Amino acid sequence: MVVVMKSGSAAADVQRVVERVSELGYTPHVSRGQFRTVIGAVGGKDPQSREQLEQLPGVDNVMGIALPYKLASREFHEADTIIEVKGVRLGGPHVNVIAGPCAIESRELLFEVGAAVKKAGAAVLRGGAFKPRTSPYSFMGLGVDGLKMLKEAGDQLTMPTVTEVMDPRDVEEVAQYADILQIGARNMSNYNLLMEAGKAKRPVLLKRGLSATLDEFLMSAEYILSEGNDQVILCERGIRSFGGEARFMLDVSAVPLIQERSHLPIFIDPSHAAGRRDLVPALTLAGIAAGASGALIEVHSCPDRALCDGPQAVLPKNFERLMEQVRQIARVVGRKTTDWNGSSE
């Protein structure tokens, strides 16, 4: 840390800071400038230190230097983390698409959409059984029945599956049926859920909160990692902004920024960002061109009858065309699209 004193602060104030810095376990280094004195604090690690020092008399501000997360950082783990689920490798040089309906509405729909996305090259099947809804009066998913359908579809199509878990009490059961646990944007700071997911033996797909900074996002990943689960996949899904033209604003710069700071794979979710299917292709391709490890795309064969988020679901035939462009752009930015229909490219 660097403690910056106010201009003209008293010698006694500087002395008090130096003593407190030592008391907190750091080594102080004082540099006196023309107008201000600055005290470097090196070596300690009390997480409350910064807040406490900020309050001492004569202190203007305290600037942190150390990263707040450890296990999620590139400093801790330099190479890209690659997560392997039933033969599909996510992260590193690989680009993969996770696709399926928003909610599992019926067995028929799930199998129909699943077969279509598999054929087009999607690597992982998604489908919601527990749905977080803004309104308590909306369709909330089929629950465990939906989980069973998802497992069956994944087995039959030989695709790993991902589904959302919203309640710490459900983690164990969801992990029995799904290959990857998803934690949604609204639960990114639901720390008890994160810790429970950290104890599960499944990879976790963690979505960025609607107004989370990237450091807060990585801190949420750190919660999972610190419980012993090192298989975390990050996902940028759009942040809240003014204007309301798109439902949320996809932050493509999050992709290279996360990759600089962390070894974890970073996906994008164009469907929830856009909220409308006509924007999905442009956002998907933007994310892949920016270097994302892949995309989560909602597909529905009859979206104007969908019980959830129909307006953002892509039709199977449009999904197929989009996948072809994803594949080409992935190649331009030097990524592999192996695992696509079994053939390596």
Structure tokens at 200: 């599960």
Taking CB atoms within 8 Å and a gap of at least 24, the contacts of 145-153 are 146/103, 146/104, 147/173, 147/174, 147/176, 147/177, 147/178, 148/177, 149/104, 149/107, 149/110, 150/104, 150/110, 150/125, 150/177, 150/178, 151/177, 151/178, 152/107, 153/110, 153/111, 153/114, 153/125, 153/127
**Cα angle, residue 236 at apex, residues 234 and 239 outer, rounded to 5°:** 140
Q: Does 169 bind a copy of itself (CB under 8 A)?
A: yes
Which residue of 125, 233, 254, 297 would you call a contact of a copy of itself, by CB under 8 A? 254
Place of tokens 């989560």: 296
Give yes or no for residue 136 binding a copy of itself (CB under 8 A): yes
Closest approach of a copy of itself to the CB of residue 268, in Å: 10
Position 15 contacts a copy of itself (CB under 8 A): no
Collect all residues with Cβ–Cβ distance below 8 Å to 219 and sequence separation of at least 6: 68, 69, 72
* Stretch near a copy of itself under the rule CB under 8 A, chosen from 112-120, 127-135, 154-162, 175-183: 127-135
Interacting span for a copy of itself (CB under 8 A) from 79-87, 174-182, 229-237, 327-335 = 327-335
- Distance (Å, rounded) from C-alpha 21 to C-alpha 161? 50
Strand order in the sheet with 27-32: 27-32, 37-42, 2-5, 59-63
For residues 153 and 239, which CB has a smaller minimum distance to a copy of itself in the complex?
239
- Any contact of residue 10 with a copy of itself (CB under 8 A)? no
Q: Is 174 a residue that touches a copy of itself (CB under 8 A)?
A: no
Residue 303 interacts with a copy of itself (CB under 8 A): yes or no: yes
Q: Among residues 177, 223, 267, 319, which is the contact residue for a copy of itself, using CB under 8 A?
A: 223
CB nearer to a copy of itself: give 135 or 344: 135
Cα distances (Å, whole numbers) of residue 43 to 5, 51, 53: 20, 17, 15
- Cα–Cα distance measured from residue 129 to residue 329, given in angstroms and rounded to the nearest whole number: 32
**Could you say which residues in the range 21-60 bind a copy of itself, by CB under 8 A?**
27, 29, 31, 33-36, 38, 40, 42-43, 47-48, 51-52, 54-56, 60
- 332 contributes a contact to a copy of itself by CB under 8 A: yes
Q: What is the largest CA-CA distance in the chain?
A: 76
Torsion sign over Cα 111, 87, 161, 345? negative
Position among 18, 82, 144, 257 found at the interface with a copy of itself (CB under 8 A): 257
Only segment of 107-115, 117-125, 152-160, 304-312 that touches a copy of itself (CB under 8 A): 304-312
Residue 158 near a copy of itself by CB under 8 A? no
**What whole-number distance in Å separates Cα of residue 58 and Cα of residue 242?**
38
User: Of 79-118, which residues contact a copy of itself (CB under 8 A)?
Assistant: none
**Per CB under 8 A, 133 contacts a copy of itself:** yes
Q: Which is nearer to a copy of itself, 145 or 245 (CB)?
A: 245
Which residue, 205 or 250, has its beta carbon nearer to a copy of itself? 250
Quick check: 129 binds a copy of itself (CB under 8 A)? no
Member of 142, 252, 295, 299 binding a copy of itself (CB under 8 A): 252
Contact 107, 133 (CB under 8 A): no
Q: Among 158, 176, 192, 341, indicate the residue that binds a copy of itself (CB under 8 A).
A: 192
